[in-house]
């Protein structure tokens, strides 16, 4: 028998064996069904192991052949996967406007392009016709807006106001807090339900530190806390239609505590601490010139009264033996002095620049007390 005939017989035998396994409904296990038992003798011809037999005939060798299985397709090349991905992405690209809806047809997500009252952007919906979250890119700059559950009442806005960032909080749809950045720095503004702005925290207008402003019901400045133009901190109170500073408490340019009272933007009185550890109170004429001064100096106090031209009209000071009173003319020339000579009281009258002060009764005379 030729080799070709023997091989043909082999394939026929294997095929027959496979058919027998399929159609006989043998109770073999799946692992046994996947193999075919054959016997091969010296003639090199394969014969199926007879059913029920466990061993081949004497002189034959038993072989186990596996059934043929279809080959799995090879995995696509990476380049093919890349092309498929790019094709998928191209298919998913859409042009605004478009919407994403749920199974009931309700809008979940909408992308707009300046239409239906919505600027170019993306909007998220839930159970209402108006968006709960909006991300927009109008001409003034990008922004994000949040609304309350009804979708119509504004709750918060974060975005750009021209070239300045801004964050706003709303209460019942009305502005409540405004936080942003201006030319001189950041600011925080509070708004009440009446639409009025009662308070603002901001960088000082002159660029030297922070400033807090409180406003009255008319929207006029009422209280201002912050540094002055020289950088010294102060608490200022405003009054009048012209918004003049009526009172101020703070630190003066010399680093001393100070209080100032004003009328119609004219200084009326000052109270300050001195570098020597004392204090002073100064009252002013309408012209702004000092009218009177009460101060502490070197362990003693003094009082001075001035004319509007600046002349000293009178003073009470500490003399060598006690208090000393001096009254002057409008030009500042001493006319009356009263004090203690160490033993009795003395009053001297003038004008002291005339006559002898040694002759009683004449100009420059004395009045002496007695014991």
Q: Mind listing the pLDDT tens digit for each residue in 80-133?
A: 666 655 655 555 678 888 889 888 888 899 888 876 666 788 999 988 788 899
Confidence of residue 163 (pLDDT cuts 50, 70, 90): confident
Q: Who's near 334: CB < 8 A, 6+ residues apart?
A: 326, 327, 328, 350, 352
- Interior angle at CA 157, CA 151 and CA 163, nearest 5: 145
- Interior angle at CA 171, CA 165 and CA 177, nearest 5: 35
For residue 15, give both structure tokens. Answer: 């095929």
Residues counted in the chain: 371
| Mean pLDDT on 27-40 | 62
Instruction: From 231, 232, 230, select the one nearest 249 (Cα to Cα).
Output: 232
Q: What is the mean pLDDT of the chain?
A: 78
CA distance 171 to 179: 15
pLDDT of residue 254 exceeding 70, the answer is yes
| Mean pLDDT on 227-248 | 84
pLDDT of residue 361 exceeding 60, the answer is no
Least confident of 78-87, 108-117, 144-153, 168-177: 78-87
Torsion of CA 223, 227, 230, 234, to 10 degrees: 60
User: What does the pLDDT read at residue 26?
Assistant: 35
User: What does the pLDDT read at residue 178?
Assistant: 93
| Mean pLDDT on 284-297 | 91
Which 3-state string (H, E, C) describes 328-370? ECCCCCEEEEEEECCCCEEEEECCCCCCCCCCCCCCCCEEECC
For residue 92, give both structure tokens. Answer: 């998913």
CA distance 369 to 64: 153
Confidence of residue 306 (pLDDT cuts 50, 70, 90): very high
Rg (CA), the chain: 54
pLDDT of residue 44 exceeding 90, the answer is no
Confidence of residue 36 (pLDDT cuts 50, 70, 90): confident
For 208-228, what is each residue's pLDDT tens digit?
A: 788 898 998 888 889 999 887
pLDDT of residue 77 exceeding 70, the answer is no
pLDDT of residue 301 exceeding 80, the answer is yes
User: What does the pLDDT read at residue 260?
Assistant: 93
User: What does the pLDDT read at residue 199?
Assistant: 93
For 256-278, what is each residue's pLDDT tens digit?
A: 889 999 988 889 999 998 777 78
Q: Who's near 88: CB < 8 A, 6+ residues apart?
A: none
Identify which has the larger pLDDT, 230 or 201.
Answer: 201
Residue ranges per structural domain of the chain: 3-66, 289-371
| Mean pLDDT on 279-292 | 93
- pTM metric for this prediction: 0.57
Select, from the ranges 57-71, 166-180, 317-331, the one with the highest average predicted confidence (pLDDT).
166-180
Which 3-state string (H, E, C) describes the chain? CCHHHHHHHHHHHHHHHHHHHHHHCCCCCHHHHCEEEEEECCCCCEEECCCCCCCCCCCCEEEEEECCCCCCCCCCCHHHHHHHHHHHHHHHCCCCCEEEECCCCCEEEEEECCECCECCEEEECCCCCCCCEEEECCCCCCEEEEECCCCCCEEEEEEEECCEEEEEEEECCEEEEEEEEECCEEEEEECCCCCCCCEEEEECCCCCCEEEEEECCCCCEEEEEEECCCCCEEEEEEECCCCEEEEEEEECCCCCEEEEEEECCEEEEEEEECCCCCEEEEEECCCCCEEEEEEEECCEEEEEEECCCCCEEEEEEECCCCEEEEEECCCCCEEEEEEECCCCEEEEECCCCCCCCCCCCCCCCEEECCC
pLDDT of residue 1 exceeding 70, the answer is no
User: What does the pLDDT read at residue 89?
Assistant: 55
Residues linked to residue 336 through DSSP beta bridges, in sequence order: 327, 349
Identify which has the larger pLDDT, 214 or 17.
Answer: 214
Identify which has the larger pLDDT, 304 or 333.
Answer: 304
User: What does the pLDDT read at residue 14?
Assistant: 39
Instruction: From 277, 283, 280, select the one nearest 263 (Cα to Cα).
Output: 283
User: What does the pLDDT read at residue 45?
Assistant: 72
User: What does the pLDDT read at residue 33?
Assistant: 54
Confidence of residue 41 (pLDDT cuts 50, 70, 90): confident
Instruction: From 329, 333, 304, 298, select the one nearest 316 (Cα to Cα).
Output: 304
Q: Count of CB atoms within 10 A of residue 134's CB?
A: 21
User: What does the pLDDT read at residue 352?
Assistant: 55
Handedness of CA 330, 335, 336, 340 (dihedral sign): positive
Instruction: From 202, 130, 135, 214, select the one nearest 173 (Cα to Cα).
Output: 130
Place of tokens 């692992």: 31
| Mean pLDDT on 188-208 | 84
């Amino acid at each position: 028998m030729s080799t070709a005939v023997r091989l043909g017989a082999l394939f026929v035998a294997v095929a027959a064996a496979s058919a027998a396994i399929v159609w006989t409904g043998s109770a073999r296990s799946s692992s046994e069904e996947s193999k075919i038992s054959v016997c091969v003798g010296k003639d090199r011809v394969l014969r199926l192991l007879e059913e029920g037999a466990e061993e081949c005939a004497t002189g034959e060798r038993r072989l186990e052949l596996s059934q043929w299985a279809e080959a799995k397709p090879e995995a696509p090349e990476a380049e093919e996967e890349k092309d498929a991905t790019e094709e998928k992405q191209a298919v998913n690209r859409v042009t605004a406007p478009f919407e994403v809806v749920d199974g009931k047809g309700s809008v979940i997500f909408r992308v707009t392009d300046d239409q239906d009252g919505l600027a170019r952007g993306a909007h998220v919906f839930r159970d209402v016709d108006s968006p709960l979250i909006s991300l927009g890119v109008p001409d003034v700059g990008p922004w994000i807006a949040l609304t309350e559950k009804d979708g119509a009442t504004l709750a918060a806005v974060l975005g750009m106001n021209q070239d300045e960032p801004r964050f706003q909080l709303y209460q019942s749809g009305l502005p409540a807090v405004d936080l942003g950045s201006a030319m001189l720095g950041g600011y925080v503004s509070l708004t009440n339900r009446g639409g009025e702005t009662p308070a603002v925290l901001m960088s000082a207008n002159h660029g030297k530190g922070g400033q807090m402003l409180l406003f009255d019901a008319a929207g006029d400045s009422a209280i201002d806390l912050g540094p002055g133009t020289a950088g010294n901190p102060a608490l200022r109170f405003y009054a009048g239609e012209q918004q003049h500073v009526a009172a101020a408490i703070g630190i003066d340019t010399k680093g001393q505590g100070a209080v100032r009272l004003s009328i119609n933007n004219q200084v009326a009185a000052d109270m300050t601490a001195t570098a020597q550890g004392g204090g002073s109170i100064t009252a002013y004429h309408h012209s702004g010139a000092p009218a009177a001064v009460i101060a502490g100096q070197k362990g003693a106090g003094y009082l001075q009264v001035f004319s509007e031209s600046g002349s000293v009209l009178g003073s009470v000071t500490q003399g060598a033996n006690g208090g000393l009173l001096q009254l002057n003319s409008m030009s500042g020339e001493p006319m009356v002095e009263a004090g203690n000579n160490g033993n009795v009281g003395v009053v001297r009258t003038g004008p002291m620049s005339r006559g002898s002060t040694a002759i009683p009764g004449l100009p420059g005379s004395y009045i002496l007390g007695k014991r």
